[in-house]
Amino acid sequence: MQGQAACQRVLSELDLSLLLMLEMDKAACYTLKTRIAYHHLKNNDFELYKKYLKGEINRETLYKDVPQKLKDSVINLPIGEEFNSEIHSRIENLLSMAVILI
C-alpha cells in the first residue's frame, strides 16, 4: 500500500480522518472511495459491503449509502494551474462542511 491509501489507513487506526484526498489517477480514486465506503459501512450496514465483495452489487450501488461529503473528499484532478481554482473551490466547500474538534 502506498501514498494516500496508506495514510488513510494509519489515520483510521488512530480514529482520525483526512478532510480531502487529491489524486489524479481514476483507479486510485476508486480505491480511496471504496476504503471510505468500508469505514462508513463497517458501523452502519456492513452487509452491503459484503455484497460488494461478493460481486452481488456494483460500486455505484455501494457508494449510494455513503454520505456525499465523504465521497466528495476524494478529488480526481491533477495539481496544476489549469485545475487549481477548481481544487481550491472544492477544498473551501469541504472546509465549510467540516466539524473540527480541538
Identify whether 63 is part of a domain: yes
Residue 18 domain boundaries: 3-97
Q: How many domains does the chain have?
A: 1
Identify whether 49 is part of a domain: yes
Q: What is the 3-state secondary structure (H, E, C) of the chain?
A: CCHHHHHHHHHHHCCCCCCCEECCCHHHHHHHHHHHHHHHHCCCCHHHHHHHHCCCCCHHHHHHCCCHHHHCCEECCCCCCCCHHHHHHHHHHHHHHCCCCC
pTM, two decimals, is 0.72
- Of 6-20, 46-60, 81-95, where does mean pLDDT reach its minimum? 6-20
The answer to whether residue 100 scores a pLDDT higher than 60 is no
The larger pLDDT score, comparing residue 44 to residue 94, is at 44
Identify whether 36 is part of a domain: yes
Look at residue 15 in the predicted model and tell me its pLDDT: 54
Identify whether 83 is part of a domain: yes
Mean pLDDT of 44-59: 95
Mean pLDDT of the chain: 82
Q: Which region holds residue 55: left if phi is over 0, alpha if psi is between -120 and 50, else beta? A: left
Identify whether 102 is part of a domain: no
